[in-house]
């Protein structure tokens, strides 16, 4: 097969596309991939590192307030459609897969107009502007959350597939996770992580928890701060002089997150779609603090979906304090039965075969064309 992948701006759009590409190559070893991304997006750096041919568009997203910049964005969109059309005609793909982000718009729209089979994947409960627009033109849509399906009623082939990023953590070796942290196997620990760049609000709450950690004897705490917050967080925790200092581990970044996640007892995190996919695929209890600073506040519905299923506890950032967070951590870590129930609820939501499901859906629409 010859397939174009597109999506970008953030890792939440890029990594699902790469996961689908990897699965395509596993199922169809002769698959040729082309990734069309934005000149300014993270994909321009990430995709070539995965050995996939990359072409770029000069495209920007809409501002949600009235702005003359939106007029320029419309002009760039139609220029992007023309450029994408030329790239597609040159590559001659059997199908195009879009995973969201503004660059996805002109590429998938151009493909639909050329009669090329098209599929979009939506990571969040509430679709972004691009996928809402594209849902009128595509042949298929796959969603990460069951609650998203009503948004794609007009798409003839829409399925609840899960997030293909989930496959990255399946089979991860927990022993390697413990070893990388310098912990003995089966040591209970709480992992707090704010995404690849870190989250100041989570770091502040983590610092606020430190004085209470002696109330949970034997439990270790791993704070992944993000590079930019590491020195400050480490210094402030050091000044607290906790008697449980040997059970507090402050790291700037974790390069083997699947293995560390497999070893953890409980995760405190933002509610990005890819992270949630990983948590549910391994049955990980979580405390989710959705970021209020993302487009369309999409993390709150993500977190609420897990909380209502009993797989997570949601704390809004306005209610987040060290004391409040530790209260939830303490209650979950002291109650094994509750932790196991949360894990079971998370597993029910997990879709470890998401990438395979999406590839199967792609095969269907190609055959129909």
10 assigned to a ligand binding site: yes
90 assigned to a ligand binding site: no
In whole angstroms, what is the distance from residue 324 CA to residue 230 CA?
23
In whole angstroms, what is the distance from residue 282 CA to residue 273 CA?
15
| Cross-strand partners of 122 | 143
In whole angstroms, what is the distance from residue 324 CA to residue 341 CA?
22
Is there a single domain that holds both residue 18 and residue 80? yes
Total length of the chain: 369
pLDDT of residue 319: 97
299 assigned to a ligand binding site: yes
Is there a single domain that holds both residue 156 and residue 271? no
Q: What are the pLDDT digits (tens) for 93-115?
A: 999 999 999 899 999 999 999 99
Phi, psi of 299 (to 5 degrees): -75, -30
Q: What are the pLDDT digits (tens) for 215-270?
A: 999 999 999 999 999 999 999 999 998 888 999 999 999 988 889 999 999 999 99
Is there a single domain that holds both residue 69 and residue 215? no
pLDDT of residue 327: 98
**Residue 363 pLDDT greater than 80, yes or no:** yes
146 assigned to a ligand binding site: no
Domain count, the chain: 2
Q: What are the pLDDT digits (tens) for 331-347?
A: 999 999 999 999 999 99
Instruction: Give me the helix-helix angle, 273-282 and 299-308, nearest 10°.
Output: 20
Q: How confident is the prediction for the chain on average, in pLDDT?
A: 92
**Residue 194 pLDDT greater than 80, yes or no:** yes
37 assigned to a ligand binding site: no
Averaged pLDDT for residues 24-30: 95
Is there a single domain that holds both residue 197 and residue 104? no
| Gyration radius (Cα) of the chain, Å | 21
12 assigned to a ligand binding site: yes
Is there a single domain that holds both residue 29 and residue 146? yes
Three-class DSSP labels, the chain: CEEEEECCCCHHHHHHHHHHHHHHHHHCCCCEEEEEEECCCCHHHHHHHCCCEEEEECCCCCCCCCCHHHHHHHHHHHHHHHHHHHHHHHHCCCEEEECCCCCHHHHHHHHHHCCCCEEEEECCCCCCHHHHHHCCCCCEEEECCHHHHHHHCCCCEEEECCCHHHHHCCCCCHHHHHHHCCCCCCCCEEEEECCCCCCHHHHHHHHHHHHHHHHCCCCEEEEECCHHHHHHHHHHHHHHCCCCHHHEEEECCCCCHHHHHHHCCEEEECCCHHHHHHHHHHCCCEEECCCCCCHHHCHHHHHHHHHHCCCEEECCHHHCCHHHHHHHHHHHHCCHHHHHHHHHHHHHHCCCCHHHHHHHHHHHHHHHC
Q: What are the pLDDT digits (tens) for 282-337?
A: 899 999 999 998 877 889 999 999 999 999 999 999 999 999 999 999 999 999 99
Is there a single domain that holds both residue 331 and residue 356? no
Is there a single domain that holds both residue 151 and residue 195? no
In whole angstroms, what is the distance from residue 91 CA to residue 118 CA?
15
pLDDT of residue 350: 86
174: number of Cβ within 10 Å? 17
**Contact status, residue 223 vs residue 192, Cβ threshold 8 Å:** yes
pLDDT of residue 63: 52
In whole angstroms, what is the distance from residue 107 CA to residue 55 CA?
11
pLDDT of residue 70: 55
Range of 152-156, 163-167, 312-316 with top mean pLDDT: 312-316
Structural domain including 108 reads 2-165+352-368
Is there a single domain that holds both residue 74 and residue 149? yes
Characterize the bridge pairing of strands 2-6 and 53-57: unpaired
Is there a single domain that holds both residue 84 and residue 141? yes
Prediction pTM value: 0.79
Is there a single domain that holds both residue 140 and residue 234? no
pLDDT of residue 18: 94
Is there a single domain that holds both residue 82 and residue 114? yes
pLDDT of residue 40: 81
Averaged pLDDT for residues 363-367: 96
Report the CATH number that the domain containing residue 96 is assigned in CATH: 3.40.50.2000
Q: What are the pLDDT digits (tens) for 134-143?
A: 999 999 999 9
Is there a single domain that holds both residue 79 and residue 158? yes
Nearby residues of 27 by Cβ (< 8 Å), 6 or more positions away: 356, 359
Q: What are the pLDDT digits (tens) for 268-281?
A: 999 988 889 889 98
């Amino acid at each position: 097969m010859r397939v174009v992948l597109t999506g970008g701006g953030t890792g939440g759009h890029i990594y699902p596309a790469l996961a689908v590409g990897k699965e395509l190559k596993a199922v169809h070893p002769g698959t040729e991939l082309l990734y069309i991304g934005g000149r300014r997006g993270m994909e321009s750096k990430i995709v070539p590192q995965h050995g996939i041919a990359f072409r770029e568009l000069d495209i920007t997203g809409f501002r949600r307030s009235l702005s003359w910049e939106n007029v320029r964005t419309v002009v760039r969109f139609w220029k992007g459609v023309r450029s994408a059309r030329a790239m597609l005609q040159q590559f001659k793909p059997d199908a195009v897969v879009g995973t969201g982000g503004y660059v996805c718009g002109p590429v998938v729209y151009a493909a639909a107009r050329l009669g090329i089979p098209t599929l979009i994947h939506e990571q969040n409960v509430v679709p972004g502007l691009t996928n809402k627009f594209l849902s009128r033109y595509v042949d298929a849509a796959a969603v990460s959350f069951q609650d998203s399906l009503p948004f794609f009623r007009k798409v003839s082939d829409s399925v609840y597939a899960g997030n293909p990023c989930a496959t990255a953590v399946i089979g991860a070796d927990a022993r390697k996770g413990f070893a990388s942290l310098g912990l003995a196997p089966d040591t209970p620990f709480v992992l707090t992580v704010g995404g690849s760049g870190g989250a100041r609000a989570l770091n502040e709450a983590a610092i606020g928890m430190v004085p209470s950690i002696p109330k949970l004897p034997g439990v270790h705490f791993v704070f992944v701060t993000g590079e930019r917050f590491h020195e400050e967080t480490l210094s402030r925790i050091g000044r607290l002089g906790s008697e449980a200092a040997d059970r507090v581990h402050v790291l700037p970044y974790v390069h083997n997150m699947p293995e560390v996640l497999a070893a953890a007892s409980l995760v405190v995190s933002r509610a990005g779609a890819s992270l949630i996919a990983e948590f549910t695929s391994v049955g990980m209890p979580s405390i989710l603090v959705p970021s209020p600073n993302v487009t369309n506040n999409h993390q709150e519905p993500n977190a609420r979906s897990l909380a209502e299923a009993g797989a997570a506890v949601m704390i809004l950032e306005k209610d987040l304090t060290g004391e409040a967070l530790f209260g939830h951590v303490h209650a979950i870590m002291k109650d094994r039965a509750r932790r196991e129930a949360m894990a079971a609820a998370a597993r029910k939501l997990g879709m470890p075969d998401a990438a395979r499901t999406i590839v199967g859906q792609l095969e269907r629409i190609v055959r129909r064309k």
